[in-house]
Amino acid sequence: MITIYHNPRCSKSRETLALVQSHADETQIPLQVIDYQKTPLNFGELQSLLTALGTDDVQVMLRNNEPEYVNLNLATADVATALSAIAAHPHLLQRPIVTYQNKAAIGRPPEHVLSLFKKA
């Protein structure tokens, strides 16, 4: 299954969804679309996403242009603090994020997520 953590109000997220939907249709792989603002991720889910992204740098998951990023001093926050902040303020999550076969990629640019579907 392919999962996209999506914000329908974001143009990059919509572009990424179109790419992923096309791939899912071509390959007949089920696609799950999660509007993470309506269905926020909990701490454990966010921790799993960070692992799937293949990094321990939580900054890649944060939208640093949001007021809460500055107000909560997230530029220097540890992983637990940052993930807790995202869980409490879902709009802090960088979007879109696509997961497939235990790996994840951020769709910035949207084409970046296509790397998840390449055969090794």
Q: Is 15 in the active site?
A: no
**What is the identity of the amino acid at 68?**
E
Helix (H) or strand (E) holding 43: helix 43-52
d(CA 23, CA 27): 6
102: which 2 tokens?
A: 């235990």
Catalytic residue among 10, 29, 33, 72: 10
117: which 2 tokens?
A: 């579907």
- Using an 8 Å Cβ cutoff, are 103 and 52 in contact? yes
Which neighbouring-strand residues pair with 32?
A: 3
- Which residues are known catalytic residues? 10
